[in-house]
Each structure stands twice: as structure tokens, then as C-alpha cells.
Structure 1
Amino acid sequence: MTDTAVLHRRGVHGGPPAPPRRGGILTGLLRTARPRQWVKNVLVVAAPAAAGQLFTRHALTQTALVLVLFTACAAAVYLVNDARDAAADRAHPVKRHRPVAAGQVPVPVAYAAGAVLGMLAPAAAALLCTPSVAALLAAYLVMQLAYCVSLKHVLVVDLAVVTTGFLMRAAAGGLALGIPLSRWFLITTGFGALFMVAAKRYSEAVQLAGTAGATRALLTEYTTGYLRFVWQLAAGAAVLGYCLWALEAGGVPHTGLLPWRQLSMVAFILAVLRYAVFADRGTAGEPEDVVLRDPALAVIGAVWAAMYALAVANW
């Protein structure tokens, strides 16, 4: 093998050999759209479920539609992001396996697919949902594309943008059905999202200490102490917001067997504490992996969901 071929396989940074291309372009596009992260878009169900208005034909149809459209928008952002970051991702020990960085999906194809999805989703929302949902999706795309281009390089603003993306998901379901969003819902969702985002950044900073500048330069500007402070602050605020909601609701007469709203505080706090274990270890770099692969967290989450459902149904 010639020296040129060796350099080509190793990549411009002289790291390990680039991964072989697997599958075709369509398979690569699907992988770039991050199917494993689509679980984040389930947040669109939160507002209708919290209001007890989820289980009607109209609500289920609209919520499912918004879920699909938000997934399309998120996929569009991932495609554009990976196309822009292809060169930097080749220096990352994990991200170099992404289809665009590995060469399975050409950069122009990723841009084109992202553009098509980004235009179709708001247009479909305007026709099939409400103008407010279409405007929200358009705003999400603009904000996330601005993040890909420049905002992810601005201290603190990068955390705020990603957190706002989660809030937009949570708000979309309410807007689709005309459900007012309570202050406690927004506070808990917002700070809960910030907790996970800051924990992810903290984990990345810990795992890539000394080499982070090669792939996410902003991580070299944050200190692990600061990121730890942010996720601890956000976790405390999320717990406080949830507890205030549950205790405030305790003043409302109920006919249920038990005060499920107040009892759900226990499961919620346990879930935050369990997730904080992974954050503290620096292994919360992929939130969906933490949520889906930890059996204890899955059980706690199921118990919380059951209690919440009983509280909404007033059983």
C-alpha cells in the first residue's frame, strides 16, 4: 500500500483507519437522521397527556402527525449538521463512523435531503395542523440551523438553544390541540431539558479531555466544574418546579384512591437522582442510551408514568 493510500485511510488527522462504507446511500441517510434519537420527539405527547386530552381520535391523530413532522425537522437538522461537520467528525473517535464523515453519504446529498425535509415539514403542518404548529416548526428549523452554523460556538447560548428545542417539542402538542401550557409544565420541562443537555456536555468534556478542541472547540471553553454546576442547578430547579406543581394540585379535591400527584414526586426525584449517577460519572453523553439501557431508570420511569396517568385520570 502506498503512503498516499495509508494517509487516505487514516484521515487528515492521522487517527485510526476510517471505517468501511456499509450499505447504500439510503441506509446512510437513515442512519444520519438518528432514529435512536427520535425518542426525544415523544415530548410532543407531554402537554396533551398532562391535560388528560390525549385519548380521543382527533387528539391521537394530531399528536401522531406532529410527532412525525417534528421528527422530519429534527432529521433535516441532523443531515445539515453532519454535512457541515464532516471534516471535524473525522477527528472524533466515535463520530468518524457517521455516514457522512465516513463517505457513505456524499455531502451534497446530505444537504439536499435536509433541505427537502426542512421545507416539507412546515408546509405539511400548515395544511394538516394549525398555523401555530407550522410557525413553531419553522422557528425550530431556523434556530437549529443557526445553531449548526454559529450558535453552537457561543458559550451558554449553545446550551440555551438545545434546551429551547426540547421546550418547542413539548409545546407543539399543546399548540396542535389548543391546550394552554401551564407555568409548572414549562418550568419543569425547560429545566429538565437543561439538566440533560448540560450533563451531556459535561460527559463529553470528561471523555474528550485534552482532545475536545479537535471536534467541538467550545468544550475547551467550558470547565467541567461549570458544566457540573449547570446540570446540578437545572436538576434542582426541575425537581422544585415539579414538586410545587404537585403540592399546589394537592389543594384541589380529588376522588382518587390515593393522592397520586403528590406520590409521583417520589418517582420523579428518584429518576433525576438515578440519571445524575450517570452524569456524575461522565457517561451521560448519549441521553437516549441512558434512558433506554438502564433497567432501574426504566422501571422508575414506568412507575412515574403510571402515577401521573392515575393523577390525570383522578383515579
Structure 2
Amino acid sequence: MSSTSSTPSTTLSSARNNWVGLVRTMRPRQWIKSLIVYAALVFDGKLFIPELFLKTTLVFAAFCLLSSSVYILNDWMDMEQDRQHPRKRFRPLASGQLNPRLAVGAAGLLALVAVALAFWVEIWAGVLLLLYLAQNIAYSVWLKHVVIIDVMVLAAGFLLRVLAGVVVVQVQNFSPWLYVCVTLLALFLGFGKRRQELVLLEGEASNHRAILSEYNLPLLDQLIAVVVTATFVAYTFYSFDATTALAHSKMLLTVPFVFYMLARYLYLVHVKGLGGAPDELLVEDRPLLINSILWALAVIILIYLWK
């Protein structure tokens, strides 16, 4: 009797664990990366046009769903390697909390809904989401094993998000320099991530991710330094580009915020020894978060309010 009566409770508990594990594997905290979709809307001066704001928001939602599908797929493919990682071994798939068959089914459903939503909003946005999906599948299967290219592919994902926002808004004043800034910033995120993994795993890094054997800290520190410098210079050029920046040269007032963001990250890595990925530190480090909010407010004020 006791074993029979406990069966429904056990089934309910298992279902709850699976759904909680699925939500964790979807990584909703990482959806912050897809906010870059709004870049075209903001920097083209169309933030307060309701129709375009709604369309951009729907494309943002599509990228969130599709990126979650990709995260599930990656975790499913990397289950064995993740079990050797001090932090990733607690992920739902690696720890056994999430049923792999449920995870694969959810990944397929999320991808289907995301692509359909994007095509409904704008055909070219749907095409870009398909490219994003194909790129990530290629990354999971092959490109993540090719040194330097692995990070460049991740950076391309950010650029595709921006382009999706561009085709929805049909931009008129969007500076080409912003494409450069986004790409460089994404490379910054990618190399920062690789550095974090090397520091965290030390001698066991290649056992978790084979490509890490092709990197070392001196190389990554040099690459990060180059990308940080290039990012700052590119943003400065954008802010001075009076032909496309709606705020004209007044955008130079936002350059100190960008410099502080880059310098603060390097300080946290090299002085505080946090070694965190930039996207995680942006949320966890209060000065970085406050600086980002102030930068966003300054951009909106300069483009929309200071005429």
C-alpha cells in the first residue's frame, strides 16, 4: 500500500524536477544578450514608434526562444564533458535532473516557434533566425573545435541579432560603425569566456573542452587587449559620425561610459581575479550595471530629448 500510494507523489516530483531543470537549461538570464536587437530601433531614432517597437519586441522574443533551444542542444551534446566541470556538472542534463528526451523535444519545439514567429513579423528576420540556428548547429558539431573561429562564430550570432533588428526597423540613420562595435564587443565576450574557463579549470581545461588546449592566458590577454582597444576606437568614431549619429557629435559625451565599462572589466579580471565572463559580470557587478544603465539613459536623452 505504501509503495502504491507514493507513486503519484513520486511522479509529480519527477515532473516538477524536469520542468524546473528545463527552465534552468533554457538560461533565461542569458536573454539579456538578445537586447542588442533593439539597437536599430534606438539608434535609428524610432524607439517611440509603437508598431516598430512591437515588431522588434517580437523578434527579441524569437531570439530568446531560439537561443534557449540552442542552449538545450549544446547541453545535451556536452553532457559528458560538463560532468567533469566543477560548475557545469550541476546543470540539469549533466546532473540527471532533466530527462534528455524531454530536453531534445523542447529544443525542437522552441526552435520551431521562434522561427515561425520571426517569419510572421518579417520574412528577412525569419531568414536571419534560420541563419542563426544553422550557425549554432555548425558550431556545436564542428566549429567549436576550431581555434579563434570558435569565438568568431559566437560573435556572428550577435551581429545577426542586430541585422534582424535592422530589417524590421528598415533603418535610415544607422551607422555602419555600430556593426563594427557590436562585432568587437561580441569578440570581447567570447575571449573573456575562454579566459574564464581556462582560469577556472586550470590543468583540466582540455578535458572539459578540447579547444581550450589551443589557448593560453597570455594569448587570450593579448587578444582581449586588442579587441578592447578596437572597440573603444570604433565607438569613438561612431559617436563622431555626424552623418548617421542622430545626436551628432554630442554622442561623444557617452564615450566615458564605454571607456569605464571596458576598464572596469579589465580591473575585475586582473586586479580582483574574478575571471568572470563579461555578460555575467555585467549583472553581478553593481558599478558595471549602474554604468550600463547610465550609458543607456544618456544615449536616449541625446538622441530623443536634446535637440
Q: Same fold (TM over 0.5)?
A: yes
> 1:83, 1:24 → 2: CA distance?
17
CA contact 2:44–2:246 (8 Å) conserved in 1: no
One of 94, 98, 104 as aligned partner of 2:91: 98
Matched-pair contact (CA < 8 Å) for 2:132–2:160: yes
User: Mean Cα displacement is larger for which, 155-164 or 295-304?
Assistant: 295-304
Aligned to 1:219: 212
Match of 2:261 in 1: 271
How many angstroms does 1:252 deviate by?
8.5
What TM-score do the two structures reach when normalised by structure 2? 0.89
What does residue 67 of structure 1 align with? Answer: 60
Shift of 1:90: 0.7
Residues 253, 312 of structure 1: alpha-carbon distance in 2 compared, 3 angstrom cutoff: closer
Match of residue 55 from structure 1: 48
Q: Find the aligned partners of 1:157 and 1:251 in 2 and give their Cα distance.
A: 31
Question: Between Structure 1 and Structure 2, which shows a larger proportion of helix residues?
Answer: 2
Q: How big is the shift at 1:253?
A: 10
Q: Which residue of structure 2 lines up, in the alignment, with residue 89 of structure 1?
A: 82
Aligned-pair distance for 1:250? Answer: 9.1
Q: Are 2:246 and 2:303, in contact at CA under 8 Å, matched by a contact in 1? A: no
Counterpart pick for 1:44 among 37, 43, 47: 37
Residues 1:72 and 1:204: Cα distance change in structure 2 (over 3 Å): same
Could you tell me which of 155, 160, 175 is aligned with 1:163?
155
| Count of residue pairs the alignment pairs up | 291
Shifted more, 238-247 versus 281-290: the winner is: 281-290
State the partner residue of 1:110: 103
Structural RMSD (CA): 2.1
2:281 matched to which residue of 1?
A: 290
- The answer to whether 1:30 aligns with 2:23 is yes
Return the letter of the residue paired with 1:153. Answer: H
1:42 Cα deviation from its structure 2 partner: 0.8
Could you tell me which of 222, 243, 248 is aligned with 1:229? 222
State the alpha-carbon separation in 2 of the partners of residues 279 and 167 from structure 1.
26
Q: Which residue pairs with 2:7 in the alignment?
A: none
In structure 1, give the amino acid aligned to 2:295.
W
TM-score for the superposition, normalised by structure 1: 0.87
Indicate which of 137, 150, 174 corresponds to 2:142: 150
Verify the 8 A CA contact 1:274 1:297 in the aligned structure 2.
yes
1:249 deviates by 2.4
Q: 1:61 to 1:93 in 2, by over 3 A?
A: same
Q: CA deviation at 1:46?
A: 1.2
Confirm whether residue 179 of structure 1 aligns to residue 165 of structure 2. no
Provide the rounded CA distance (Å) in 1 between the counterparts of 2:246 and 2:279: 37
Q: Distance in 1 between matches of 2:15 and 2:279?
A: 24
Alignment partner of 1:242 out of 226, 235, 242: 235
Asked whether the equivalents of residues 189 and 277 of structure 2 are also in contact (C-alpha less than 8 Å), the reply is: no
Q: Please identify runs of 4+ aligned residues in structure 1 that moved more than 6 A.
A: 250-254
Q: Distance in 2 between matches of 1:45 and 1:63?
A: 7
Runs of at least 5 residues in structure 1 that lack an aligned partner in the other structure:
1-20
C-alpha contact (below 8 Å) 1:76/1:113 kept by paired residues: yes
